[in-house]
Amino acid sequence: MKEILKNLKYQAVCRRKRNQMIKTYLNGVYFQFDSDNHVQYCLKCQTAGKRYRAFREELENEVQVDIEAPEDFTSRVMSSLDKKVKTTTNKGTKIILLTLLGLMSLVILVFGLKRSSNELDKE
């Protein structure tokens, strides 16, 4: 039983250290392996730390790469936006008109019922 508890505690420490490592790498700071007693002796944490470091370095290299957009990029984007705006506007306008038509029909129906009930009361 003591061995199981010891393993659970060790796994919890490992998770905590790896979470700490990934947070430091994502913030642009490298984790100090030498100053951490657990990481010096834990192969899983050392492997994870090396992977996090490699990922961070690769990410930094990719971000610094200049990318050239095609010459017709702006015109293609603008034309696709024009098509989407026109389609959206037409659908939106139809929905608004149908809603207004439905509301007007309800108003006419309600006033028609009131008027017919008033006429019946007079007779």
For the chain, which residues make up each domain, given as ranges? Answer: 2-63, 84-123
Mind spelling out the 3-state secondary structure of 6-55? HHHHHHHHHHHHHHHHHHHHHCCCCCCCCCCHHHHHCHHHHHHHHHHHHH
115, amino acid identity: R
Higher pLDDT among residues 120 and 103, named by residue: 103
Q: What are the tokens at 82?
A: 């024009």
The pLDDT tens digits for 24-43 are: 777 777 666 666 777 778 88
pLDDT band at 51 (very low <50, low <70, confident <90, very high): confident
pLDDT of residue 29: 72
The model carries a pTM of: 0.42
Share of the chain above pLDDT 70, in %: 77
pLDDT at 96: 83
